[in-house]
Amino acid sequence: MFWLLAILAYLLGSLSFAILLSRLAGGPDPRASGSGNPGATNMLRVAGKKLAVMTLIGDLFKGLLPILIAKLLGLSLHQQAWIGLAAVVGHLYPLYFRFRGGKGVATAAGMLLGLYPPAALLALAAWALVFLLTRTSSLASLIATPLTLPLLAWQQPAALLPACVLTGLIVWRHRSNLRDLFAGRERRF
């Protein structure tokens, strides 16, 4: 059951709400506009608030749903965390869109919400605070995700290894943002 759910989570994660919603609205492919990232932040830039919010909800849901199903089926927290990570990997490297995906932040938030809601709330609070202070979404994401690790280590150690892999993947996907942050040319809102 674990492997089947992990594969299904990856396939669900591979659905890019940014690309699908853009196509439905007759807009440009978000991978070819703005920052080139098919995620909620870029959708806000290239398609407006409504499609950005819909993208955010869709991406969050695809990280949450596999965890909820795994919980219902009685899988362990450790297994749930790996299944959630499979959904995030699907978002990062989507099968349906030539493996050109987003940065995984909203899908990771859904994963954390399903695994341990206090970790998701901590990440949200940290993201919001950093964003309000800097107006930089990438910096907020790069700070919020690692901040959940000590809390998970303390309260949910079974989820720690997949959460560390998640954090590493998010940092990896933000490597161009890190270069831009250090060079002082990262986009702000």
In a domain, 135, yes or no: yes
Query: pLDDT tens digits, residue range 56-92?
Result: 999 999 999 999 999 999 999 999 999 999 999 999 9
The answer to whether 138 touches 177, Cβ cutoff 8 Å, is: yes
In a domain, 189, yes or no: no
Residues 128 and 164: their CA atoms lie apart, in Å, by 21
Whether 188 has a pLDDT exceeding 90, the answer reads no
pLDDT of residue 34: 82
Q: Which residue in the block uniquely carries the two structure tokens 């994401």? A: 141
Whether 119 has a pLDDT exceeding 90, the answer reads yes
- Report CA torsion sign: 43, 47, 51, 52: positive
In a domain, 133, yes or no: yes
Residues 92 and 118: their CA atoms lie apart, in Å, by 24
Whether 187 has a pLDDT exceeding 90, the answer reads no
In a domain, 29, yes or no: yes
In a domain, 101, yes or no: yes
103 falls in which pLDDT band (50, 70, 90)?
very high
b/e code 140-165 from CB counts within 10 Å (16+ = b): bbbbbbbbbbebbeeebeebbebbee
Its domain, for residue 174, covers 1-183
When divided into structural domains, the chain yields a total of: 1
In a domain, 188, yes or no: no
In a domain, 153, yes or no: yes
pLDDT of residue 151: 95
Least confident of 19-28, 81-90, 147-156: 19-28
pLDDT of residue 118: 97
pTM of full prediction above 0.85: yes
33 falls in which pLDDT band (50, 70, 90)?
confident
